[in-house]
Amino acid sequence: MSFECDAILFDLDGVLLDSSECVKNTWRIWGQQRGIPFEKIMAVAYGRRAVETIRLVAPHLDADEEVRPLSEWEAVTTEGIYAIDGASTLVRALPPDGWAVVTSGTRDIAVTRMKCTGLPIPNFMVTADDVVNGKPDPEPYCMAAERMKILPEKCVVVEDSPAGIEAAHKAGMYAIGVAFSHPREALSMADVIANKLSDIQVSDGKSRRFLIEISA
């Protein structure tokens, strides 16, 4: 399948870099300290801001207070953060005004992880710090399109989580799922699914700026 668009909006973790080991270790320790089963946390954590994950799994706790030390720790650690094949090459080939990162992590976390995996810092980035409502709410993707001055229907999103795909669709955007953190069947809401990021190729479009082609 192929799409033409004027902007490509990438989720970060699980799409442009692999932070799964770091994220799991962080939530495992937090869950043990709070008496919350790790499986319960991970069932909702992917694609969501940490504060919203805490609200879901531990409504009895003050999520704003709980999330602060978690975010501070993740903003300085590079342990368990790995590059994803083809990610840096892909985004470096795009014009700076043609792509953005839309992540559920804070800006400090995102910058630390991008630097340690060799990714350029994009001109446009929407993080947990910028929004009131995180994914699966469409606010993060709507904000990215607004900042880029591009209509939502002219954007294509690359995501690895059901929450992110739902957010993209609610924003009126096409969504490409990458089967990294979830199996293909869990990403059935996506317009098309790539087995890995390197299956996504971008070239010049005819009616719009980019042509995105996905090899199944």
Whole-number Å distance between alpha carbons of 54 and 209: 40
Catalytic annotation present for 11: yes
- Which stretches of the chain are DSSP H helices? 20-34, 38-45, 50-57, 63-74, 87-92, 107-116, 139-148, 162-170
> In degrees rounded to 5, what are phi and psi of residue 141?
-75, -35
Q: Which of 11, 18, 137, 160 is catalytic?
A: 11
**Which amino acid is located at 68 in the chain?**
R
DSSP string for 129-163? TT-SS-TTSSHHHHHHHHHHT--GGGEEEEESSHH
Q: Which of 6, 13, 137, 160 is catalytic?
A: 13
The residue length of the chain stands at 216
Question: 154 CB contacts (<8 Å, ≥6 apart)?
Answer: 5, 6, 7, 208
Catalytic annotation present for 62: no
Q: Is 61 in contact with 54 (CB distance < 8 Å)?
A: yes
Active site (catalytic) residues: 11, 13
